[in-house]
Amino acid sequence: MMNKKVLVLNQDYSPIGVCHVQKAFILVFLDKADIIEQFESLKLRTIEKSFPYPAVIKLSNYKNIPYKGVMLNRFNLFKRDGFSCQYCSSRKDLTLDHVIPKSKGGKTTWENLVTACRRCNARKGHQTPEQVGLKLAQQPYKPTYADFLKEYALQNAIEWLPYLKARTLV
């Protein structure tokens, strides 16, 4: 099992990336990072020794990194919405819907776009959800990099979760 990924935190604990365990181990070995969390059930072994398997590492020096946003595109929107229609939770025939229709001045932004199935989209037409009696599953929001790592973390690395909580919107 050498395939679990490692969450990399900046010196201020903000998540900045994900790397392979080999790279994490080298950073720790060179004193460029510290292990903050480990996968308890895993060990890295050589013939003579075993080492903790890092789950989360934190850089020793603050790294100035440009803000890592999540690009607004179809796939990322579907992903934010869990690949389900935000009106009826169907997972079939997904399209994008402007909550406030473009014709009524609605913008193409994270806050005004949701995943909708073709049926709901057609039912909604050029109206607002309220006008046709549709209700959004959640208020659409602009996701952060950390939000996107959460999904991976839930399935593969619950050790990361405490470090992905802060939604630092820039």
Binding site for Zn ion (CB under 5 A): 85, 87-88, 90, 117, 120
The token duo for 141 is 């929001």
Considering beta carbons, is residue 57 or 114 the nearer one to Zn ion? Answer: 114
Considering beta carbons, is residue 6 or 94 the nearer one to Zn ion? Answer: 94
Considering beta carbons, is residue 118 or 150 the nearer one to Zn ion? Answer: 118
Least gap, CB of 79 to Zn ion (angstroms): 17
Q: What is the 3-state secondary structure (H, E, C) of 50-68?
A: EEEEEEEEEECCCCCCCCC
Least gap, CB of 114 to Zn ion (angstroms): 10
Considering beta carbons, is residue 10 or 90 the nearer one to Zn ion? Answer: 90
Least gap, CB of 123 to Zn ion (angstroms): 8
> What is the rounded CA–CA span in Å between residue 73 and residue 95?
12
The token duo for 26 is 């080298």
Least gap, CB of 95 to Zn ion (angstroms): 9
Tokens 């939000």 correspond to: 147
Distances (CA, A) of 131 to 46, 96, 101, 126: 65, 18, 12, 10
